[in-house]
Structure 1
Amino acid sequence: MIVEKKVFELPEFRTSGGQLIKNVRIGWESYGTLNADRSNAILIAHYFSGTSHAAGRHAKEDVFPGYWDALIGPGKAIDTDRYFVFSSDTLVNLNARDPHVITTGPASINPDTGKSYGLDFPLVTIRDFAAVQKALVDYLGIRRLHAVMGPSMGGLQTLAWAAIYPDMMDRIVPVICAGEVDAWLIAWLGLWGAPIIADPAWKNGAYALDEQPLAGLKLALELVTLQANHWIWADTQFGRTFAEPGADPGNALRNYFKAQTVVSGIAAERAKISDANHLLYLVKANQTFAVGPTGTVADLEKIKARTLLLYSPEDQVFRAAKSRATAAAIAKGGAEVETAEIHGPFGHANGLFAMAPLGEKIREFLAA
């Protein structure tokens, strides 16, 4: 599929904290056709470092398709011959410098000053991400969604949708997530952002757009990349191979293992299209995740939608026990809930790269 990037605009948006943001612009993509009664829409919410690019390619020459391309498309588990599938970039999207991403956040121009917001941009929450998506849904004239689904932070958004707008969807598929961000993950998220804050080039968030703290941002993305994967992946891919043949890391400080240089290279490429302040805002949004109106796990019991919760036992971000507890809390409220495990070598990222074996289960769940 060749995908067209579209823009949704709101003259103003008031955050859950009561702050006003003017001229909100977010990018969105869709796959398939909305039917006459607008009843076949499936919303896909993206993960922490993801974008609205869930499937297809922006151009034929693109090397990689969207992250769930194995699931979304004609005849696939999320069948675009049957469903209208759409996804939007969140506020404060990490990839603010990617030409295919349209987002509003600290790197955006404040219409009141003509300069980028920096840390003057209001803090936002997962609930705010869902609220902007709700505005897009209303704009499209969709009264009820066939399903809401997404991995990781997309799963948090899915749970927020189901708790805040319980009568607006038939089904949800939260993937590699849980109903709360616990103390362990709060601390890890803080470490994700710490290298940026420690970089003198950060300048308390007041860096020029062409002088962002790349050293801190790159190191932050190394931490994100490593934690989102698994030692099975690292051991299988690299073992103890030297980065340079014959350059034994035991002989010099600047001799490295291949595992180090690959993770560093991935982070360096991602840093080119990312924004440091946006990463910090995403960290805060995830740390403060509140699933519903009261901001407690009890809000999971407000969910009415049929639920298929997919989790990975190898996940090092959202522990499997937390995912299972989330499913139990939703079921306690009376909703129909089933779970399934995602297995693979990628840990948390199994929810992106090891989903194909779950395709038939997802197809059946959406069709039931």
Structure 2
Amino acid sequence: MRYFIACLAWCWALGAQALPLVEKQRFELPSFTTQSGATLKQVAVGWEAYGKLNADKSNAILITHFFSGNSHAAGKYSDSDPLPGYWDAIIGPGKAIDTDKYYVLSVDTLANANAFDPHVITTGPASINPDTGKPYGLSFPVVSIRDFVNVQKALLDKLGIKKLHAVVGASMGSFQALDWAVAYPDEVERMVSVIGAGQMDPWTVFGLERWADAIKADPAWNGGDYYAKGEPKAGLDRALAYIIYDATYPDGFNSRYTPPTDEAPKLDIHAGFKSVDELMGHAAIRAHYQDANAILYLVRASQIFVAGYSGQLEDNLKRVTAKTLFMPSTHDRLLVPQMARTTYETLKKLGKDSQYQEITGPWGHLDGLVSIQTQAKVLKDFLDN
């Protein structure tokens, strides 16, 4: 864990300048109808922004966040924060996403995993249903990547932003970025998909199902009705351990955890390994602010993803007019590079302006966060030209 945090701190230190302190803002909708046909009342999400919006509102870049992330993409809330937002290495004055040029904003998703983080604002299964006065639990409707996009669109409409200079997102954020380019082609000039894909495949759907199964197997989950008694901690910890494991390539993983040289497992089938205990400890730390039901909803939103929400990917990609850049991680085991390459190749076949550049590092999927600065010039050139 210390090495991983050190990587993040090093990434931040590479930046030319620090951003001013960041303020979390609140966006509300009196109602919102999901793609599944349900209408939610009193919807709220958090958002934050860096840089200044120019007079004609043409310099906006939207950052769409990953599965277990939130809208805190860069900067700090206070000087005492131990680390800045997850992409501080590339967002800020003089950086690849240059806040001297661009107005950069990011939005918490519906059903955000970090429902209990005081810096996150999200309507999700842990929220109070205004019709019952109790948490939604599993009565919360299925939400999709398109729903996340449409809430972001509503915020941009309120801000008077008619066109985005770019949409940039990593992992689940890449799903949103590409869906933006399909859903609102006249409003997106550039799209960057980092460690992403154009649609899910059966192999990935099953991998994600393991995350949900770990939660549902915990008796404390109680069919999603656990808010009065507390989180299904064992199941949530296990799910987050799977997420960490799946997102990490062996090189990075093995540098982070103790080698399996324990003596006790040689003698006792009940004995565990120190490395497993370390991973579970890290998962427990991450679980502190997360909601188990929200994980289930984000798993489902990811499993049903195809850019365009429904139909065939190639047909949907015909709608794209934006320049696109795909930046998968060479060693990604969660969203393997071929998923991004296939989408890139389809766009090229359709005569679209598309680029492809892999990110190489020891962390696999996580290289889209901790190693993206190695391709900062590629990203900056794409955005500035």
Shorter-normalised TM range: over 0.9
Aligned to 2:340, the other structure's residue is in SS state: helix
- Shift of residue 351, structure 1, vs aligned partner: 0.5
- The letter of the residue matching 2:296 is L
- Shift of residue 262, structure 1, vs aligned partner: 2.5
State whether structure 2 residue 312 is matched by structure 1 residue 296.
yes
Is the CA contact (8 Å cut-off) linking 2:145 and 2:309 kept in structure 1?
no
- Shift of residue 252, structure 1, vs aligned partner: 4.2
Q: Name the structure 2 match of 1:268.
A: 284
- Shift of residue 300, structure 1, vs aligned partner: 1.9
Which blocks of at least 5 consecutive residues in structure 2 are unaligned? 1-18
Is the CA contact (8 Å cut-off) linking 1:44 and 1:85 kept in structure 2?
yes
Shift in alpha-carbon separation, 1:239–1:43, aligned structure 2, 3 A = same
Aligned to 1:216, the other structure's residue is in SS state: helix
Aligned to 1:22, the other structure's residue is in SS state: strand
Aligned to 1:341, the other structure's residue is in SS state: coil
Is the CA contact (8 Å cut-off) linking 1:302 and 1:333 kept in structure 2?
no
Task: Determine which of 221, 230, 243 is the counterpart of 1:211.
Answer: 230
- Shift of residue 247, structure 1, vs aligned partner: 6.0
**Distance in 2 (alpha carbons) for counterparts of 1:321 and 1:365:** 22
**Distance in 2 (alpha carbons) for counterparts of 1:294 and 1:240:** 45
Aligned to 1:148, the other structure's residue is in SS state: strand
Equivalent residues, number: 365
Q: Name the structure 2 match of 1:324.
A: 341
Task: Determine which of 259, 262, 281 is the counterpart of 1:240.
Answer: 259
TM-score by length of 1: 0.96
**Distance in 1 (alpha carbons) for counterparts of 2:280 and 2:211:** 14
**Distance in 1 (alpha carbons) for counterparts of 2:178 and 2:339:** 14
Aligned to 1:173, the other structure's residue is in SS state: strand
Q: Name the structure 2 match of 1:123.
A: 142
Aligned to 1:123, the other structure's residue is in SS state: coil
State whether structure 2 residue 370 is matched by structure 1 residue 345.
no
Q: Name the structure 1 match of 2:76.
A: 57
Shift in alpha-carbon separation, 1:172–1:281, aligned structure 2, 3 A = same
Task: Determine which of 71, 89, 109 is the counterpart of 1:90.
Answer: 109
Is the CA contact (8 Å cut-off) linking 1:42 and 1:148 kept in structure 2?
yes
State whether structure 2 residue 372 is matched by structure 1 residue 355.
yes
Question: Which segment drifts farther, 89-98 or 258-267?
Answer: 258-267
Task: Determine which of 181, 186, 191 is the counterpart of 1:162.
Answer: 181
Q: Name the structure 2 match of 1:201.
A: 220
Task: Determine which of 119, 122, 140 is the counterpart of 1:103.
Answer: 122
Task: Determine which of 271, 282, 288 is the counterpart of 2:298.
Answer: 282
State whether structure 2 residue 330 is matched by structure 1 residue 313.
yes
Please tell me the root mean square deviation across aligned C-alpha atoms, in Å.
Answer: 1.4
**Distance in 1 (alpha carbons) for counterparts of 2:229 and 2:80:** 28
- Shift of residue 304, structure 1, vs aligned partner: 1.0
**Distance in 2 (alpha carbons) for counterparts of 1:241 and 1:183:** 32
- Shift of residue 240, structure 1, vs aligned partner: 1.4
Q: Which has the higher helix share?
A: 2
- Shift of residue 40, structure 1, vs aligned partner: 0.4
- Shift of residue 236, structure 1, vs aligned partner: 2.7
Q: Cα deviations across residues 39-83 of structure 1 (Å, max 9, x unaligned)?
A: 000000000001000001111111111110100011111011110
Q: Cα deviations across residues 110-148 of structure 1 (Å, max 9, x unaligned)?
A: 001111111111110001000001001111100000000
**Distance in 2 (alpha carbons) for counterparts of 1:346 and 1:179:** 22
- Shift of residue 254, structure 1, vs aligned partner: 6.1
- Shift of residue 269, structure 1, vs aligned partner: 0.8
